[in-house]
Each structure stands twice: as structure tokens, then as C-alpha cells.
Amino acid sequence: MTSQQSGALRHVVVVGASLAGLRACESLREEGFDGTITLVGAEHEIPYDRPPLSKKVLAGEWEVERIRLRKADDFESLALALRLGVRATALDTHARTLSLDDGTTVVYDGLILATGASPRRLPDQPLLAGVVELRTLADSVNLRDRIAGDTARVTVIGAGFIGLEVAATARALGCAVTVLEGAPSPLIRGLGVEMGAAVAGVHARNGVHLRCGVQVASLEGEGGQVTGVRLGDGSLVASDVVVVGIGVAPNTQWLVGSGLTIGDGIVCDATLSAGVPGVYAAGDCARWPNAAFAGFDDQEMRVEHWTNAAEQGAAAARNLLLVAGGGEAEPFSSVPFFWSDQFDSRIQFVGRAHGDDEVHVFAGSTDGAFAALYGYQGRLRGVLGVSMPRMVMPFRALLAANATWAEALAKAASLTAG
């Protein structure tokens, strides 16, 4: 699409230089957009991949250069106006301008917001060395240096996927690792009570001390260095390193007052339009009604997974171009997929899990490798596999087609037959 075909679109600004933002830039060029693309990113790094930050990079097995999403010279072929180390601070959708924290203003014809999410912090706690969150390359390198000596006592607050991946990596390096979780079971939000406990069994088998149903009262320190985590019952979990992994919040504060609708993410329509001409959102910061889950009460969703960010970045760019060229935007409908590596287990999930789901283990056994279906109101909602890759992806198409529970059971039977 030349600038003539894309109508009035001459300058597209993408905010957020990570996975969704990069895929948006790539898609604009692939579709033939030959106007200016400005990529604004708060980090100084060219886009890199986050999943290895809690796995191979943290373990010290991969060099940092290996996780670049595009090599430097390959990057140049996109012909981007790069504004790295610069944060967008305000958006004026009437004037179509963006204010940046270096004091400059950028005028856009089209805008893609891909600002991702940031770790939630423990409220009202002192600033102590040794207390870390994990979102950026710098966070990962900092944590790697603290656990590399294999003698650190590492406490992870929060038994979600990232917390458990850090626990597994630190334990594999030889650290003494405790995981503290307030809920009765790990991974509840991602997998539900029963399967969360089953998946986390690998931690007990590898010597991680997993404590659920405990409340964190405060962080304790001496001379500015963390010494432990005080629990609600008054006891202290002595720690050299504390990793806070209590979830993330979308990076949308800077958009308050812009006129966009914000509500646990940038609220978009089915095409990822943020409700203002020429403005789209993608990735961890975007909330949209996903037609693949039509009829379920949580059809409107925000997804915090790699595959979604990549797919949405590309889709938002295509829709921006389609509409600018006088066409009609296409709804973005997708079945979420994620993976997680913990010790020698590869966990994969397609679809969505919900506390009320019926769960049916159809292959293997929950004390090792297994696969399970998640169903709700007579329909398939998700499929979990632990070290069973061939049992998961075949269900993605069924989920996209709104398969019934009976159809899912039949598919499971066919996969396990013979």
C-alpha cells in the first residue's frame, strides 16, 4: 500500500518498542506502507524478547544479544524513525499530537498504542536492595547477578507463572527458594485451583518450598539491604533476594484525560480501534471483545501473552491501513495461547481458564506429564498440557470454532487412541 492508497496516512506513530509495537511496524511495511513510521519506546534497548528473562537469560545460559527480536541491520531495513529512551506523556486526539518526556511533540496521522504492562508493587514498603521485580532486561540481569552464586536465599512473592519460573531457575542454580502465595493454591488465575496445584507439583519435587494461603505483612531490611519477609503470623522468612511477582498493570496512566476509555487496559472495539479515528491499541495494554469467546461473560479480555501481543500488533497495523484506505477494519478474533517452562516441564495452554470450569484430564497423570480439557456451559473453553505438546495445539481450531464439550471429548479420545 503506497501512501496514495493509504489515503491521508503519511505518518504513523507507534508507542511501545517491544513485541506488539515491533510487529505493528513490520506489518505496516509488509502491507506496503511507505510513509514515515516513528517508534517511541521508554526503554533504551531495541526490541527484545521477554520470555527468556525468567528462563535462559536469568539462568546465565543465553547471552543478551540472543534475545533481540530483530538484528540491528535487519532493523534498519524497516526504515523507522527511532525514539528510544523517550516516554510518551500525553495524547491529544483532536490535534493528533503526542507529547514526549524530552519536551518534544510528535504529530501523527495514525497511532498504535503498544505500551504493555508493568509489575505491580507491594504497597507502602521501604526501598531495599535485593528486592526486585522482573519485566525488563535490566531487571533480569540484576536478578541473575544476585542468584548466580548459588548461595542466595531467594523468596518469591506470588505463585503466578513468572514467579514460578523465577523459582525454578533459581532453584536449578542451587539457591534455597521459598514461594509465598496468598491464595490457597498456585496459578489459580491462570489454571484454576486443581490444575494449578498439579502443575506446581514439579516445584515440590525439585525442592522449592511452596507456601500457599500465607499473607505478606512487610519487607524487613538492615542497612538498606533486604533481610526477609515478615508474614501475617509474625514469622520471618529470612531472604537475601526477594522477587515480587504479584502481577502486572497495563501502562495506561499517561492516557488518563486523553478522552480514550481506560479500564484495566485501553478499551477497544472488536477491531482494536481505541474509539478515536486513527488510534489503535495492541498487546498487554489492550482490552477488546474477543469474538472467539462470544457468549461467555468474560468475552471482553486483556491478554498478557507473547502470541497475543505479536498477533495484535500486526492486526492493529492492518486495520489502521485498511480504514485509512477507505476499507473496513476486520475484527480481531483469537484463541489465546501461552507456554511456561519450569524445571523440565513445558506447560502450554490454549483458550481461557475460569474458576467454575469443569476440568477433565484426558491423557497422562497429574503427578507428571498430562493434558486436560476445560469446559463451561457445555462448551470447550481451554486445554492445558504439561510436557504433552501434541495434545494441546490440535484444540486451537476447535476453540476458534466454539466447539461443544462433546466435540472436545471426541477429539481428546481420537488423540489418545492407539
For ligand FAD, the binding residues (CB under 6 A) are 15-21, 40-43, 50-51, 53-54, 87-88, 114-117, 134-135, 162, 251, 254, 283-284, 304-307, 309, 338-340
Name the minimum Å distance from CB 323 to ligand FAD. Answer: 22
Residue 9 or 46: the one with the smaller Cβ distance to ligand FAD is 46
Taking the least distance from each CB to ligand FAD, the nearer of 166 and 197 is 166
| Closest distance of CB 304 from ligand FAD, Å | 5
In the chain, the amino acid numbered 21 is G
Q: Which is nearer to ligand FAD, 91 or 214 (CB)?
A: 91
Residue closer to ligand FAD (CB basis): 57 or 152: 57
Of the pair 288, 405, the CB lying nearest ligand FAD is at 288
Residue number, 26 or 220, with CB nearest to ligand FAD: 26
* Nearer of residues 317 and 412 to ligand FAD, judged by Cβ: 317
- Cell 485451583 found at: 193
Contact 72, 27 (CB under 8 A): no
**CB closer to ligand FAD out of 18 and 239:** 18
Cβ–Cβ under 8 Å, residues 293 and 301: yes
For residues 26 and 284, which CB has a smaller minimum distance to ligand FAD in the complex? Answer: 284
Residue with Cβ nearer ligand FAD (155 or 251)? 251
Output the smallest distance, CB 69 to ligand FAD, in A: 10
Shortest Cβ 54–ligand FAD spacing (Å): 4
Strands 131-132 and 236-238: unpaired
Q: How far is the CB of 93 from ligand FAD (least distance, A)?
A: 15
Question: Mind spelling out the 3-state secondary structure of the chain?
Answer: CCCCCCCCCCEEEEECCCHHHHHHHHHHHHCCCCCEEEEEECCCCCCECCHHHHCCCCCCCCCHHHHECCCHHHHHCCCCEEEECCCEEEEECCCCEEEECCCCEEECCEEEECCCEEECCCCCCCCCECEECCCCHHHHHHHHHHHCCCCCEEEEECCCHHHHHHHHHHHHCCCEEEEEECCCCCCHHHHCHHHHHHHHHHHHHCCCEEEECCCEEEEEEECCEEEEEEECCCCEEECCEEEECCCEEECCHHHCCCCCCECCCEECCCCCECCCCCEEECHHHEEEECHHHCCCCCCEECCCCHHHHHHHHHHHHHHHHHHHCCCCCCCCCCCCEEEEEECCEEEEEEECCCCCCEEEEEEECCCCCEEEEEEECCEEEEEEEECCHHHCCHHHHHHHCCCEHHHHHHHHHHHHCC
* In the complex, least distance from residue 232 CB atom to ligand FAD, rounded to whole angstroms: 28
CA distances from 225 to 127, 193, 242 (A): 9, 35, 11
What letter represents residue 346's amino acid?
R
C-beta of 141: minimal distance to ligand FAD in Å?
Answer: 12
Distance in angstroms (rounded) separating the CA atoms of residues 196 and 213: 14
Q: How far is the CB of 180 from ligand FAD (least distance, A)?
A: 19
Closest distance of CB 338 from ligand FAD, Å: 4
CB of 305 to ligand FAD, least distance (A): 4
Pick 15 or 373: Cβ nearer ligand FAD: 15
* Pairing of β 216-222 and β 286-289: unpaired
Shortest Cβ distance from residue 58 to ligand FAD (Å)?
8
